[in-house]
Structure 1
């Protein structure tokens, strides 16, 4: 992939994550608002898809796990809780950090996200 495409992906994803930060605040006040949940879902889905296309597997994996949590909220399989909020916040921070590393180096940081994956999965179990 071209360097310009990666730069655009990172720039757009970081802007979208800023929107997710605001959406989390709204969601804590309106936990059943499907429009808010759907907006967050779309950001995770977009990041997951494009990071997979660009072979950023760690980023793709965390975005996918976050998308599963958001989908569980949307499908009303779980209720929004402090555990879900914290897990999603952690996922967003991980994604943001990876994007910043990609922006600086052109590749993902070699980091183990196993604990974060478990946190995301446990938040909806």
Structure 2
């Protein structure tokens, strides 16, 4: 079984909340409610990074959720430049922890670079169905 949903969001602060709502709606529909909180946190971090560092003015970013029998994958793609990197911020920093946190919550984290833009993704092990 394979499931997939995608939505595009404009370059606005309100898009972070809208992306969290999208994730909640899709995972509820797929009956994967045990993953909602972790994936909502991850989409919040990845969407914020896309808005701050990746989405050029006038453009959008996309959020894609997919599920197989084994994994649930969240991917955020933007059309901007930049090379995201995972690092642990020091205690004095007010930002810079997003990818680190996402990587800690997920089973896998990856960054795919494209000719235009990039996709940052996380994959979660799908819980066993009773």
TM-score normalized by structure 2? 0.35
Whichever structure has more strand as a proportion of its residues is 2
Whichever structure has more helix as a proportion of its residues is 1
